[in-house]
């Protein structure tokens, strides 16, 4: 009995001394901007919209195909527009972003991103950042030599992901990438050898969501307790998604914003 009282007293002290405050992590997901010189004004307008409407959000993430063709000038245009967003901005690459023959490698792309957006942004295409009790993992999956619409996560990337999920086994993890893991009817837009990716996800129990784009449509499905969120393309000022995640229980709430209907009104 004395032991039980002592245990409860100690537990009470620990509970009082180390309070845990759950909060919602709110961010904007934008994908498939496909920026060109002709449509860049839409992204500039959207930057102003974010600054006016979402000042209290945590960050914005662009998940690939940020530019329509792998061109250094277009990359600089994209980055110089989004650097004016008054929130932290994170970027992943897509199949339209990289091409080795044009010297648009993942290393160059991400180093340029860090240089223009700021030192808070990692210089690798596979990277991690944290918000509250959540860990966000960005993945690459793009073939640089002969890029195409099929995603390919190299064995080294899958091994790296496995290690990160082990490292953060006590945290809830959200993966950000261009290529969805969901099946598609298009043979030219799927994911090569995705079984190895799913094997890693199924090995761990801390991934709560995979956020992606690429399909140019809106889909959300749950597979083995992982919420797969695919957002419709932004291209030509159409869609983006608001995502809110409780960093304690992992509850996820999403809202797809149709900018075309707003503009039509």
Structural domain contains residue 14: no
CATH number of residue 239's parent domain: 3.60.21.10
221 located within any domain: yes
In a domain, 186, yes or no: yes
Which pLDDT belongs to residue 80?
99
pLDDT score at 262? 62
So what's the pLDDT on residue 21? Answer: 64
17 within some domain = no
Predicted local distance difference test score (pLDDT) of residue 199: 97
Residue 135 contacts by C-beta under 8 Å, 6 or more apart in sequence? 128, 129, 164, 168, 171, 172, 173, 174
Tokens of 145: 């030599």
> So what's the pLDDT on residue 183?
87
Enclosing domain of residue 201:
23-264
Which residues in the chain come in under a pLDDT of 50? 1-19, 264-265
Which sign does the torsion angle of CA 210, 43, 235, 239 carry?
positive
Domain membership of residue 2 (yes or no) is no
- Residue 100 to residue 70: CA distance in whole angstroms: 9
pLDDT score at 145: 84
How far apart, in whole angstroms, are the C-alpha atoms of residue 153 and residue 179?
10
- Residue 129: the pLDDT is 99
63 in a structural domain: yes
Report pLDDT for 10. Answer: 35
CB-based contact 194:158 (threshold 8 Å): no
Residue 6 lies in a domain: no
Question: How many domains are contained in the chain?
Answer: 1
Determine the pLDDT at residue 187.
64
pLDDT tens-digit readout, 197-229: 999 999 999 999 999 999 999 999 999 999 999
């Amino acid at each position: 009995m004395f032991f039980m009282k002592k245990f409860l007293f100690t537990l009470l002290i620990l509970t009082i001394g180390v309070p845990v405050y759950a909060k919602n992590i709110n961010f904007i997901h934008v994908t498939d901007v496909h920026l060109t010189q002709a449509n860049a004004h839409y992204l500039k307008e959207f930057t102003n919209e974010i600054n006016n409407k979402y000042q209290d959000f945590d960050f914005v993430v662009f998940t690939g195909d940020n530019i329509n063709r792998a061109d250094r000038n277009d990359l600089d245009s994209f980055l110089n527009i989004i650097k004016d967003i008054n929130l932290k901005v994170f970027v992943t690459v897509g199949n339209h972003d990289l091409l080795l023959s044009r010297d648009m490698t993942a290393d160059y792309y991400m180093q340029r991103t860090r240089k223009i957006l700021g030192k808070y942004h990692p210089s690798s295409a596979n990277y991690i950042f944290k918000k509250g009790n959540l860990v966000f993992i960005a993945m690459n999956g793009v073939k640089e030599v002969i890029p195409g619409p099929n995603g390919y996560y190299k064995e080294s990337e899958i091994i790296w992901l496995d290690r990160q999920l082990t490292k953060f086994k006590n945290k809830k993890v959200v993966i950000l990438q261009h290529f969805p893991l969901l099946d598609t009817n298009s043979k030219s837009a799927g994911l090569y050898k995705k079984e190895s990716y799913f094997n890693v996800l199924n090995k761990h129990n801390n991934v709560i969501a995979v956020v992606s784009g690429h399909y140019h449509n809106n889909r959300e499905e749950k597979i083995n307790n992982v919420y797969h969120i695919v957002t419709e393309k932004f291209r030509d000022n159409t869609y983006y998604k608001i995502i809110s995640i409780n960093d304690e229980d992992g509850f996820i709430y999403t809202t797809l914003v149709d900018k075309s209907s707003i503009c039509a009104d």
